[in-house]
Amino acid sequence: MNTTKPKIFADTPYQTGINVSLNELLSYKKQAKLQLQPAAKAAYRQLSGNYLAKIKGRGMEFAEVRHYQAGDDVRTIDWSVTARTGKAHTKLFQEEKERPVFILLDLSDSMIFGSQFVFKSVQACHLAALLSWQAKQRNDRLGGIVFNQQKAAELKPTGRNKGLMTFLHQSEQLCTTQAFKTTAAAQSLFVQLKRLSRLVQTGSQVHLISDFSQLDGPCRKLISQIRRHNQINAWQISDPLEQVLPEDVQQTNLKVNSLYGSGFFKQKNALQEYQEAACERQQNVVNTFLKYGIPLYPISASSSLMEQFHAPER
């Protein structure tokens, strides 16, 4: 039996690219500690930074320098500023403060797709694992919601290893191609956002991982409500084929199969219409998160997750 890893997955934690294994998700324990190149730091800052309270004291994060006052700890004196100004100055720090982390992981039917490297659902699980390990390293309590088309797992925030392992196990179980089977009681992004709004605790860190193909008015309203009292990061998983079709589609009758039936992609102007529709959908997603001041980070399913975080500086 040949157990050699396929060339496309060499030196990566991915195995099949279709479903995800627990071993893949566990591998991010080491990955989460890596320092990223400058071009990726903007996105990575949301993963690696500890949370800061407004309380000032002797913590880990530098806040400001002010004139030395009676009673200040002499160990916090900033000698370089003191020497430059001729007056004693002391450093102030912000204390680190833990808070619950909630991850909404979308593994519904639209995520069961991939044209080059892995399914979007697999990439989403890898990203969720990385975020989970980061939370574990900060000793934050981890909770959230993992859902596919039929089932949703609601996880209350739990500390230590329990919260992490429960989340990873649910990710593995619900990331399956069986999600193609539709049911009358299908789960939706709206239903899960509504559930998340009841689950999340004020002052929490919230990560939304999805392709946001189901993003509509009611979903936007719920996101806005959650945003009022929490910090949200949105991670959009996409595949290149969703944005641009191959040019030779115009010369051939491309057969298209979907949950809603089959057909042929053969109209001469269909390629342009496809791209225009994709651009409009994407702009709606961008505008939504821009409106609410929520960072939106694009993650592609066409290459390794850590490769995207290690993008070379331009």
The pLDDT, as a whole number, for residue 61 is: 55
Say which residue the tokens 């975020």 belong to: 131
Q: What's the half-sphere exposure (Cβ side, CA atoms, 13 Å) at 3?
A: 0
**Second-level CATH architecture of 7-49+99-309:** 3-Layer(aba) Sandwich (3.40)
Instruction: For residue 79, give both structure tokens.
Output: 């000698």
As a whole number of angstroms, the distance between CA 301 and CA 118 comes to: 6
Taking each helix axis as running N to C, give the angle between helix 189-199 and helix 217-227, from 0 to 180 degrees, rounded to the nearest 10. Answer: 20
For the segment 86-101, the average pLDDT, to the nearest whole number, is 77
**For the chain, percent of residues with pLDDT exceeding 90:** 37
Does residue 314 register a pLDDT over 50? no
For the segment 88-114, the average pLDDT, to the nearest whole number, is 83
Taking each helix axis as running N to C, give the angle between helix 120-137 and helix 41-48, from 0 to 180 degrees, rounded to the nearest 10. Answer: 50
As a whole number of angstroms, the distance between CA 99 and CA 80 comes to: 35
As a whole number of angstroms, the distance between CA 21 and CA 25 comes to: 7
Domain residue limits, the chain = 7-49+99-309, 52-96
As a whole number of angstroms, the distance between CA 61 and CA 46 comes to: 16
Does residue 293 register a pLDDT over 50? yes
How many residues are listed for the chain in this entry? 314
Cβ atoms 236, 281 nearer than 8 A: no
Strand partners of residue 205: 101, 231
183-235 pLDDT, tens digit per residue, is: 445 678 999 999 999 999 888 999 999 999 999 999 999 999 999 889 999 99
The pLDDT, as a whole number, for residue 39 is: 40
The pLDDT, as a whole number, for residue 138 is: 84
CB atoms within 10 A of CB 63: 15
Q: How confident is the model at residue 57 (pLDDT cuts 50, 70, 90)?
A: very low
Cβ atoms 108, 101 nearer than 8 A: no
Say which residue the tokens 């001729």 belong to: 86
CB atoms within 10 A of CB 226: 23
Strand partners of residue 103: 144, 207
For the segment 238-246, the average pLDDT, to the nearest whole number, is 83
Does residue 43 register a pLDDT over 60? no
Average per-residue pLDDT for the chain = 79
For the segment 143-148, the average pLDDT, to the nearest whole number, is 94
- Amino acid (1-letter code) at residue 285: V
Does residue 278 register a pLDDT over 90? no
The pLDDT, as a whole number, for residue 37 is: 44
Does residue 287 register a pLDDT over 60? yes
The pLDDT, as a whole number, for residue 187 is: 77
